[in-house]
Amino acid sequence: MTVMQGAEQEPHLSEEQAIPGITGRSPAQMAWARLRRDRVALICMAVIALVVLVALFAPLITKALGLTDDFNGHLIKDGGLPEGPLHSGISWDHPLGVEPLTGRDLMYRLLYGSRISLLVAGLGTLFTVVIGVILGMIAGYSGGWIDAALSRLMDLLLSFPQLILLIALSPVLVQVLDNKLGIDGNPARITFLIIVFAVFGWTYLARLIRGQVLSIREREFVEAAVSIGASSRRILLKEVLPNLWVPILVYASLLFPSYIGLEAALSFLGVGVSEPTPTWGRMLADSVSFYTVDPLYLFIPGTYLFIVVLTFNLLGDSIRDALDPRASRS
């Protein structure tokens, strides 16, 4: 009797009281929690934030440091090489040195070059993702002749060598932008790069999205939406698209650094942005002739480009692992 009375007097614990500290979390919250535990991801995000801030505030930084893009002929010795250690021209007034022949400040050109490279890569990635997601969703959900036509278009575009096309089409399309749209000079070249990146880059993402949509459209929640008479647009936006954010984010995080490298390669080949606007690729192209006598002229922009591209690639891997823990690295 005493035992029963003690049992009856025991207070009833709610589920929240019985299991303190446990609350439901969305997939995005769990992915963010995994990402915050990844030290590599945190370091990469800090480096990327620093690079972006430096690019955005390049005018203020260069003004505060007193850096300009002027020619400094007084810093150039006989033979066209700067004074200073390793013929680099490094001094308190020019922390990273100056260019051979011209004497222009390297830090100034490096900071302003990051603005062009990040702009081209950012807008190219944005338009590529938008086109690829829209056409991939349409192809995967519609099926029939629409799917067949878009699939053949993807195969056609994938058969073209993108780099060769960029080199071949550059003078023609830049002239068209100049004559038809009134965009001349480097703005026309920047517009050309963004357009070609998007036109020839969406096919890989579209194929990935198409395969995902083919699987998603057979699931119960999509069939339920169809049975209650939901429109195709509502099904794609409300039911299908929320389940595609993982491949979209992962692909975009890996596409961005590839576009940075591609823009640098095109500028190196003389197809990208031309003088006097600085870019990383243009700086590398100009430094090749002096790497034996002024190695820092090649090392400084090359190292900066390497660090930025590597950081974005590592962050892309970390995002993939956070969103898909089954693919975690050991």
Would 213 be classed as within a structural domain?
yes
Question: How far is it, in rounded angstroms, from Cα 29 to Cα 173?
Answer: 45
User: Does residue 293 sit within a domain?
Assistant: yes
Residue 57 covered by a domain = yes
Residue 82 main-chain phi, psi, to 5 deg:
-70, 165
Round to whole Å and give the CA distance between 27 and 37.
16
Higher pLDDT, 40 or 85: 40
* CA 228 remoteness from chain centre: 40
The answer to whether residue 263 sits within a structural domain is yes
Residue at 258 is within a domain: yes
96 assigned to some structural domain? no
Number of domain units in the chain: 1
Summarize the confidence of residues 309-322 as an average pLDDT. 84
Residue 70 in any domain: the answer is no
Residue 168: inside a domain: yes
Amino acid occupying residue 209: I
Residues 87-128 pLDDT 10s: 677 878 878 888 888 878 888 888 888 888 888 889 999 999
Contacts (Cβ under 8 Å, ≥6 apart) of 274: 186, 189, 282
Read off the CATH number of the domain in which 122 is found. 1.10.3720.10
Query: Please, what's the b/e burial string for 104-132 (b: 16 or more CB within 10 A of its CB; e: otherwise)?
Result: bbbbbbbbbbbbbbbebbebbbebbbebb
For 145-172, how does the pLDDT look when each residue is reduced to its tens digit (9 = 90+)? Answer: 888 999 888 888 888 777 777 777 777 7
Could you tell me the residue range of the domain that residue 129 belongs to?
A: 44-62+104-327
**pTM for this one?**
0.79
The per-residue pLDDT for 71 is 80
Calculate ∠ Cα 85-91-96, nearest 5°. Answer: 80
Distance from C-alpha of 232 to C-alpha of 236, rounded to nearest angstrom: 6
Q: What is the largest CA-CA distance in the chain?
A: 108
